[in-house]
């Protein structure tokens, strides 16, 4: 347990940041799973309409520091290939 005042504040801050980051990760994974489910169930037209939302979520996660830029780009590329392969 923290003893000093600044250490107590740092602990409070890290707990808040952890909760925020977990929520953001959950939202991102939900979007990715929804997109993958649409592609797997052969709902290609819906998946094409949902793809910009997926890209936006990945870009937002990169901006928030949740993902690195190359990771986000790699995931977008992989999803685009998956969509084009099944269409």
Q: pLDDT per residue over 26-42, tens digit each? A: 999 999 999 999 999 99
Full domain range(s) for residue 42: 5-86
Q: What is the pLDDT of residues 39-82, one digit of tens each?
A: 999 999 999 999 999 999 999 999 999 999 999 999 999 999 99
* Tokens matching residue 62: 């990169």
Q: Provide the CATH number for the domain around residue 49.
A: 1.20.58.110
* Tokens matching residue 47: 């998946």
pLDDT bin (cut points 50, 70, 90) of residue 86 is confident
Instruction: Count how many domains the chain has.
Output: 1
> Residue 28: is it exposed, middle or buried by C-beta count within 10 angstroms (0-12/13-18/19+)?
buried
Kindly report the pTM of this predicted structure: 0.85
């Amino acid at each position: 347990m923290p003893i000093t005042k600044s250490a107590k504040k740092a602990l409070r801050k890290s707990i808040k940041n952890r909760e925020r980051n977990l929520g953001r990760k959950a939202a991102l994974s939900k979007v990715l799973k929804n997109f993958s489910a649409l592609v797997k169930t052969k709902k290609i037209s819906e998946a094409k309409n949902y793809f910009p939302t997926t890209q936006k979520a990945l870009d937002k996660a990169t901006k928030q520091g949740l993902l690195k830029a190359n990771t986000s780009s790699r995931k977008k590329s992989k999803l685009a290939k998956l969509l084009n392969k099944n269409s």
